[in-house]
Amino acid sequence: MIEGDVTYKYEGASEEKFNVSSKGTITLETVEVKDGKYILKLTPSKTVIKVGDTLLEDITDSETAISRVISTSLVEIKSNGEVVSVKEISPGILDISQILMILPAFPEKLTRPWKQTVPAFSIPGIPMCSLTFTYTYSQAKDGISKVQLLSNQAIKEERKEKDVIISFTGRNASNGEFLFDEGKGKLKSFDGIIDLLLNIVFKVPSSPERKTLGSQSVPLKIGLKLKISITQR
């Protein structure tokens, strides 16, 4: 389940806010195991997806339908949980498999917290930067171990896409908790909140038609607060 609010505001315009909601079932199928890596196929079904008052999809009554909004994807993952790559094989509007990039990649020693950086993932209509999280492992009780996810990241990043320079500043204040069944070696659940405040500036070169010199800047402010819940069945 993913549910929450997105706000955005261009300079000189009113702030816009909309709610997003996505629920459904993701079936994981092991396609291949090679050199300590697993290739998993993620197939979304029984989905209901809303953006504001608009219902994008509802296939909850179908036992066989596959989502056209959420991508069917292949994920390559190491035995320690590190996600190596994500590839869409049936593209949709949203590639939910990218959320798996926040899975903890367990180090050899779990005696102290460790950090991971997640590459910029794709959210339709929203430019993204890379995100850094800190993970803390708690020893198992009754066979269930916990990994806390926490971030207090001051964001400062710049990248170039063709002729456009995109700079990011802001704050990542996300948090969450993974539960693992150590007896089965499987993720039991994840509950967390992705909480981002981004100030984005697009710098574009002046067009030949304009007499002004230098680049032009287009500022955009984005707030993203999404509750994410994953439960194994």
**Backbone dihedral region of 185: left (phi > 0), alpha (psi from -120 to 50 degrees) or beta?**
left
The whole-number pLDDT of residue 47 equals 96
| Residue 41: partners with Cβ closer than 8 Å, 6 or more residues away | 28, 29, 31, 72, 73, 74, 89
Q: 7, 42, 49: which is closest to 26 by C-alpha?
A: 42
Structure tokens at 34: 């090679």
β-bridge partners, 160? 165
Closest CA to 174 of 146, 149, 199, 210: 149
Pair 116, 105: CB distance under 8 Å: yes
Place of tokens 């969450």: 176
Cβ–Cβ contacts within 10 Å for residue 32, how many? 11
Q: State pLDDT tens for residues 4-17.
A: 999 999 988 999 99
pLDDT tens digits, 37-72:
999 999 999 999 999 999 999 999 999 999 999 999
Model pLDDT, residue 132: 96
Q: How many CA atoms lie within 13 A of 105 on its CB side?
A: 15
Secondary structure of residue 96 in the 3-state scheme: helix
pLDDT at 121: 77
Percentage of the chain exceeding pLDDT 90: 67
pLDDT digit string, tens, across residues 112-162 = 999 999 988 777 777 889 999 999 999 888 889 999 999 999 999 999 888
Residue 195 has pLDDT above 80, yes or no: yes
Q: Which residue has the higher pLDDT, 215 or 31?
A: 31
The predicted pLDDT at position 210 comes to: 56
Mean pLDDT of 72-92: 92
Using alpha carbons, select from 136, 228, 233, 227 the residue that is nearest to residue 181.
Answer: 233
Position with higher pLDDT, 200 vs 213:
200
User: Would you say residue 207 has pLDDT above 70?
Assistant: no
According to the model, what pLDDT value does residue 176 have?
Answer: 97
More confident position, 181 or 233: 181
Instruction: Return the SS3 of 134.
Output: strand
The arithmetic mean of pLDDT across residues 200-205, rounded, is 89
Is residue 204 pLDDT above 90, yes or no? no
Model pLDDT, residue 131: 94
- Measure the CA–CA gap between 77 and 86, rounded to whole angstroms: 9
Summary mean pLDDT of the chain: 91
Please answer whether residues 21 and 49 qualify as being in contact, where contact means their C-beta atoms are separated by less than 8 angstroms.
yes
Integer Cα distance of 221 and 200 in angstroms: 6
